[in-house]
Amino acid sequence: MELNRRTVIAGAAAAGLAATTLGTGTAEAAGGKTPSKKLFGKLADGTKVYIWSLANGGTKLKVLSWGGVVQSLEIPDRHGHLANVSLGFDNIEDYVAKTPYFGALIGRYGNRIGKGQFTLDGKSYQVSVNDGVNSLHGGTQGFDKHVWDVEPFTKGSDVGLHLHYTSIDGEMGYPGTLKVKVTYTLDKHGSWTIDYEATTDKATVVNLTSHVYWNLAGEGSGTIEDHELQIAAARYTPTDTGLIPTGELAKVSGTPFDFRKSKAVGRDIRAGHVQQIQAKGFDHNWVLDKGITAKPEHVATLREPRSGRTLKIATDQPGLQFYSGNFLDGTLTGTGGSVYRQGDALCLETQHFPDSPNQPSFPTTTLRPGQTYRTRTVHTFGS
Ligand code: BGC
């Protein structure tokens, strides 16, 4: 905690900025710490980016107004020692120039759309292409690369932030002005809930998610191959070489993709399955057994054996992208000063299946005027 605070201030000072507290103070809310903000840095055009701090039930969260980024998420181990379990940077410049979506909110369409093309109500759309021939995480300037309006709240024993962003009609090629509200809530047990809401004025496609890179031993502590992972999914969506689903819902049984019983991430990561070779590890969407549900249901558990820290994920969404940090390559230096290498973190992104706008057999991601897109994912921590 102290280290992170110092490095944030050092980063701001290096950019010639005063790291003054500008927020609502640190008054204790019922059970939690009222969110407060400081200046984190400035964009090239002078726009200020703030870092919000909130805490509840043993969890400490820091969130940027840039991309709704979770810059730091601290949870205790079995001895009560806190560690930041989310990869990130200590300065805005790296978030702008180099981030592989560390901790960010992803939209308008999380994951990939083949060739960035789809047809909706008979009309063809070309959206921004930024991953070979495909569109990834909303295109060259997705929701992760915008400043969001942030509004703190306390409600009973909960503390949290409402984050607002309006994506105008045609932005990145998507139809319809999309009004997005994301709420981060920390409850008195330290659980972190994300609520996503969106409305549109024209038919569009939406798939919002959060891109936290987890390392439950602490960011910068090395590989996640010894983390144990369980995913409640009997099928996954195999992909082509561009990581676009083929449309098949393949059985995980008898393959390295079988995480129905908890196993170490590293156990089968070198099994040589063609799907792993082309993805350089795990980078696939698991078809959650429960399907779309009215309320969040448990879908995955991640456990780090040495610290005892656990993360349980519940969602109402039909899919979970498990990405084993394959493209981290030693070129990025994280919050605590360590270089991030391949497999130093993993992502568990609750969402609809990739390329759904082009896959009629996948659950629909179309949002129409008059409808409200509403989804929830809950992260529960233990040790
Ligand atoms: C994708 C990866 C991609 C990464 C970018 C993940 O959600 O599945 O293929 O490289 O995001 O950081």
Instruction: Tell me how far the alpha carbon of residue 64 lies from the centroid of ligand 1, in angstroms.
Output: 20
Taking only the tens place, the pLDDT of each residue in 231-286 is 999 999 999 999 999 999 999 999 999 999 999 999 999 999 999 999 999 999 99
Q: Tell me the pLDDT band of 21, cut-offs 50, 70 and 90.
A: very low
**What pLDDT was estimated at residue 31?**
57
**What pLDDT was estimated at residue 253?**
98
Taking only the tens place, the pLDDT of each residue in 71-120 is 999 999 999 999 999 999 999 999 999 999 999 999 999 999 999 999 99
Taking only the tens place, the pLDDT of each residue in 197-209 is 999 999 999 999 9
- The mean pLDDT value for 124-150 works out to 98
Active site residue ranges = 211, 349
Transcribe 320-371 into DSSP letters: EEEE--TT--S-EE-TTSPEE-TTS-BEEEEESPTTGGG-TTSPP-EE-TT-
Going from the C-alpha of 123 to that of each of 97, 126, 134, 204, 223, the distances in angstroms are 34, 10, 19, 11, 45
Predicted confidence (pLDDT) at residue 1 exceeds the cutoff of 70: no
Q: Tell me the pLDDT band of 33, cut-offs 50, 70 and 90.
A: confident
Query: The domain containing residue 374 runs over which residues?
Result: 2-382
Taking only the tens place, the pLDDT of each residue in 306-351 is 999 999 999 999 999 999 999 999 999 999 999 999 999 999 999 9
Return all residues near 227 (Cβ < 8 A) that are at least 6 apart.
214, 215, 216, 217, 264, 265, 302, 303, 304, 346
| CATH number of the domain within which 352 lies | 2.70.98.10
* Number of domains within the chain: 1
Instruction: Tell me how far the alpha carbon of residue 131 lies from the centroid of ligand 1, in angstroms.
Output: 10
Amino acid at 31: G
Instruction: Tell me how far the alpha carbon of residue 100 lies from the centroid of ligand 1, in angstroms.
Output: 8
36 lines ligand 1 (CB under 6 A): no
233: left (phi over 0), alpha (psi -120 to 50) or beta: beta
327 lines ligand 1 (CB under 6 A): yes
Predicted confidence (pLDDT) at residue 151 exceeds the cutoff of 60: yes
Please give the backbone phi and psi of residue 224, each rounded to the nearest 5 degrees, phi first: -100, 10
Query: How far apart are the C-alpha atoms of 297 and 285, rounded to whole Å?
Result: 17
CA angle 234, 238, 243 (to 5 degrees): 140
**What pLDDT was estimated at residue 32?**
78
Atom of ligand 1 nearest to the CA of 349: 7
Q: Tell me the pLDDT band of 28, cut-offs 50, 70 and 90.
A: low
Taking only the tens place, the pLDDT of each residue in 206-220 is 999 999 999 999 999
Q: Considering the chain, what is the average pLDDT of its residues?
A: 93
